[in-house]
Amino acid sequence: MLVNGIPIESEFAEAFDMKATRVIITGHDRQWALDGATAMTGFGTSVIACGIETAIERELSPDETPDGRPGFAILAFAVSGAEMEKQIPRRAGQCVLTCPTSAIYAGILGDKSLHPKRIPLGKMIRYFGDGHQISKVTPAAGYAKGRRFWRVPVMDGEFVCEHDVGRVDGIGGGNFLLLGDSVEGVSIACRAAVAAMSGLPDVITPFPGGAARSGSKVGSKYPALFASTNDAFCPTLRTATDSLLRDGETAALEIVIDGLSFDAIANSMKVGITAACEAAADKGLLRVTAGNYGGKLGKHHFHLAKVMQ
């Protein structure tokens, strides 16, 4: 298959089950909301060492937020519910509670019977109020019906925090690889892909700038490591390992996608690959492929030929 003259390999990306949630962070103005969201998603690139993969899903207008202020939706993914329950309140307490004018709300909507697995927010953070915190269960219809909010006194007024947020099933590890004849070429392709995918619902690209140069493989010669460099795509190892690089390919970048559904990830891959090929076909992009482990890592397989149809 060719997209704007760029070959799309007949490969599949392999992804695995994760636990997921969404929170909404708001602020008195856009900058404070962004500051809180950026802090909470820091050090959230990979579950390999960060414990969680998290990033801003999209910016929200005041009409879309619970308190009518500027805001950002954040998605977070972890390999277990226990890890999620540890990471989310810790990040909310250290990164959102501390951010001026901020508030944090549940972003997984619907009756609690639909999402019985809960992740604590204000349930834990409220204790910072040292006994001065108060709570309220809103009886009104709409988003806030029957939900508990905590108001914690802080030096710029009050920190408003929802009691908890629902936990749902997600998918981690959707991906595609961009290969080119230069770092410049694959950077152009990568940035175009990430820009096109930015704001799509139910997906994030958690690595720096949306991309990972350290594309990993399962296992290592060192027993303590369960992941190591993907030597098959390292240009400096072309003659030292079983390289998968072709003539002229001197650089590769991987875009990793986590999502709330198979269809959301598949759609984002199609959008991203198309944008990359349109932006960099004459700037050094040579090929698009995907990373898998022979089907042994996860049950979710994104075949590029089907994704691009």
70 and 153 housed in the same domain:
yes
Q: Residues 42, 158: one domain?
A: yes
Confidence band for 144, pLDDT divided at 50, 70 and 90: low
Q: Which among 127, 255, 122, 136 has a CA at the least distance from the CA of 197?
A: 255
- Tell me: do 104 and 237 sit in the same domain: no
Structure tokens belonging to residue 22? 């969404």
Largest CA distance in the chain: 67
Domain identity same for 71 and 199: no
Cβ proximity of 163 and 135 under 8 Å: yes
Q: 225 and 160 share a domain?
A: no
Examine the domain organization and report whether 30 and 133 are in the same domain.
yes
In this structure, the answer to whether residues 104 and 144 fall within a common structural domain is: yes
Give the helix ranges, DSSP H, for the chain. 30-40, 81-91, 122-125, 183-197, 262-280, 304-307
- Domain end point (choices 105, 133, 168): 168
pLDDT in tens, 177-224: 999 999 999 999 999 999 999 999 999 999 999 999 998 888 899 999
pLDDT 10s digits, 221-243: 999 998 899 999 999 999 999 99
Examine the fold and report which residue of 168, 196, 227 is the final residue of a domain before the chain moves on.
168
Last residue of a domain, one of 168, 192, 217: 168
pLDDT-based confidence at 52, cuts 50/70/90?
Answer: very high
Q: Are strands 134-137 and 148-154 parallel, antiparallel or unpaired?
A: antiparallel
Would you say residue 141 has pLDDT above 80? no
Is residue 139's pLDDT more than 70? no
Quickly count: other Cβ atoms within 10 Å of residue 64's Cβ: 14
Rg, C-alpha atoms of the chain: 21
User: How far from 59 is each of 31, 53, 64, 75, 133, CA to CA, in Å?
Assistant: 12, 18, 10, 12, 29
User: Are 155 and 197 members of one domain?
Assistant: no
Confidence at residue 138, expressed as pLDDT on a 0 to 100 scale:
75
**27 & 7 share domain:** no
Indicate whether 297 pLDDT > 90. Answer: no
Q: What is the mean pLDDT of the chain?
A: 95
Main-chain dihedrals φ then ψ at residue 19, nearest 5 degrees: -100, 145
Count of structural domains within the chain: 2
> Based on the domain organization, do 87 and 10 belong to the same domain?
no
Instruction: Answer for the pair 99, 1: CB distance below 8 angstroms, yes or no.
Output: no
Identify the band that residue 46 occupies on the pLDDT scale cut at 50, 70 and 90: very high
Here the CATH number for the domain that contains residue 283 is 3.30.70.520
Q: What are phi and psi of 170, to 5 degrees?
A: -140, 180
Q: Which domain holds residue 72?
A: 19-168
Q: Within this chain, do residues 184 and 258 fall inside the same structural domain, yes or no?
A: yes
147 shares its domain with 176: no
- What does the pLDDT look like over 82-138, one tens digit per residue? 999 999 999 999 999 999 999 999 999 877 778 889 999 999 999 999 999 999 887
